[in-house]
Amino acid sequence: MTPEHPPLLDPPAIDPPPALRQTLAGDYYVSDAVFAREQEHIFENAWFCAVRSSDLASPGKFKKVQVGRESVLLVRGRDGLLRAFLNVCRHRGAQLCTEPEGEVKRSIRCPYHSWTYALDGKLMAAPNIASLTDESGAAIDRYRYGLVPVALTEWLGYAWVCLSDTPPPFEDVIAETTRTLGDSDAINRYGIGGLDVGHRVVYDVAANWKLIVENFMECYHCSSIHPELVGVLPEFAKGVAAQANIGLGAEFGSQVAGFTVDGTAGFDRLPGITEEQDRRYYAITVKPAVFINLVPDHIIFHRMFPMSASRTIVECDWLYTGDVVSSGRDVSNSVELFHRVNEQDFEACERTQPSMSSRAYRKGGVLVPAEHHIAEFHEWVVSRLGA
């Protein structure tokens, strides 16, 4: 006998009872048109965490970063300042740097016709330029034809850039970050800006950036896919995310010595943190594309780079004190814990992505009460897109 199935083309409408809330519709995660609007209205308007400042430690070091639809060049000047520019030659528009990162001596030279820019963006030289005038007949203003600057500010040891002509106050980023901790000074005590990168992994995730945000915001999945994390933070088995416990985070299990893959001891706790911050894990989502994880002896800092509707690069830094890094101490036990968490999370997101275009998900799915705070993220996205 053939079992009866609902018709494939017309699945039953989801009409959630009060305890459930609707997610975004599947199209939000696969549509190129939605992704283009997100690039324009979200990533090109927000402060975007681009590079770890210490990656560009000396003059001439540069990195190329995709921000929304723009290629942005971050470069350390001869004066020691970090600056950001659009990676576009002012002559006829060639991309100046095609390598993801590198080092130049004193200038950036366009490979097409050799216009050459100082590290502060000024047009230094171009073939035959001395005899040229601008349209009004005046001598060429070397800054007017210099690289187009992008707003940049440094915080927590990272360079944040904003493509908007009128960037929102950076204080909003700080306020969002500190809100989860319930104390405006709590994040400063970790001294994140002064820490060193002990390890970095770049993940290429076949999933929409919003699935990664939503996954990070909830812990309903923790007991299913994160055995090592639940081993260290037993309360995560209940499915309540650390972000939901404003100011409290999640407490280490009584037998756990450190935030490591096997619960063995990590390193000395960071010098500035309080007793209350010891033996606790805090997780912060900084919309649109940053996650910060705080534990007593290190920081795990994620930056997302949305590349398409279905692909996101995630760069994850493990930050330790300079002493730990310079002494060459073995950080693998703590790295391994969150590396596994990342792999488990990204596998879950990649498992979800293909279903976003299924007719079963045409109207989206549902959020259980432990995930209801994700609805605020959805509302934020929708409000930004003006949809």
Q: Which residues bind ligand FES (CB under 6 A)?
A: 89, 91-94, 110, 112-115
Query: Around Cβ 131, how many Cβ atoms within 10 Å?
Result: 5
> Considering beta carbons, is residue 92 or 238 the nearer one to ligand FES?
92
Pair type for strands 82-86 and 70-76 = antiparallel
> Considering beta carbons, is residue 87 or 177 the nearer one to ligand FES?
87
- Spell out the residues 6+ positions from residue 254 whose beta carbon is closer than 8 angstroms to its own: none
Please choose which of ligand FES, Fe ion, none residue 38 contacts, taking the beta carbon within 5 to 8 angstroms, the exact cut-off set by kind: none
Closest CB 16 distance from ligand FES, rounded Å: 55
195-229 b/e (C-beta count within 10 Å ≥ 16 → b): bbebbeeebebebbbbbbbbbbbbbbbbeebbebb
- Distance CA(162)–CA(53), nearest Å, equals 16
State the DSSP code for 356. Answer: G
Please choose which of ligand FES, Fe ion, none residue 143 contacts, taking the beta carbon within 5 to 8 angstroms, the exact cut-off set by kind: none
> Considering beta carbons, is residue 16 or 102 the nearer one to ligand FES?
102
* CB neighbour class for 107 (10 Å; exposed up to 12, middle 13-18, buried from 19): middle
Please choose which of Fe ion, ligand FES, none residue 94 contacts, taking the beta carbon within 5 to 8 angstroms, the exact cut-off set by kind: ligand FES
> Considering beta carbons, is residue 76 or 302 the nearer one to Fe ion?
302
| Segment (H or E) for 137 | none
Tokens 């995730």, residue?
205
Among 55, 228, 235, 345, binds Fe ion (CB under 5 A): 345
Closest CB 160 distance from ligand FES, rounded Å: 28
Closest CB 90 distance from ligand FES, rounded Å: 8
Size of interface with Fe ion, in residues (CB under 5 A): 1
Q: Which of 43, 309, 326, 283 is nearest to 187 (CA)?
A: 283
- Distance CA(196)–CA(136), nearest Å, equals 51
Closest CB 121 distance from ligand FES, rounded Å: 14
- Distance CA(60)–CA(196), nearest Å, equals 21
- Distance CA(313)–CA(231), nearest Å, equals 28
Closest CB 224 distance from Fe ion, rounded Å: 9
> Considering beta carbons, is residue 75 or 290 the nearer one to ligand FES?
75
Closest CB 263 distance from Fe ion, rounded Å: 18
Tokens 């992994």, residue?
201
Q: Which stretch binds Fe ion (CB under 5 A): 87-95, 159-167, 296-304, 341-349?
A: 341-349
Please choose which of ligand FES, Fe ion, none residue 345 contacts, taking the beta carbon within 5 to 8 angstroms, the exact cut-off set by kind: Fe ion
> Considering beta carbons, is residue 88 or 217 the nearer one to ligand FES?
88
Closest CB 136 distance from ligand FES, rounded Å: 22
Q: Which stretch binds Fe ion (CB under 5 A): 3-11, 231-239, 315-323, 343-351?
A: 343-351
Point out which residues bind Fe ion (CB under 5 A): 345
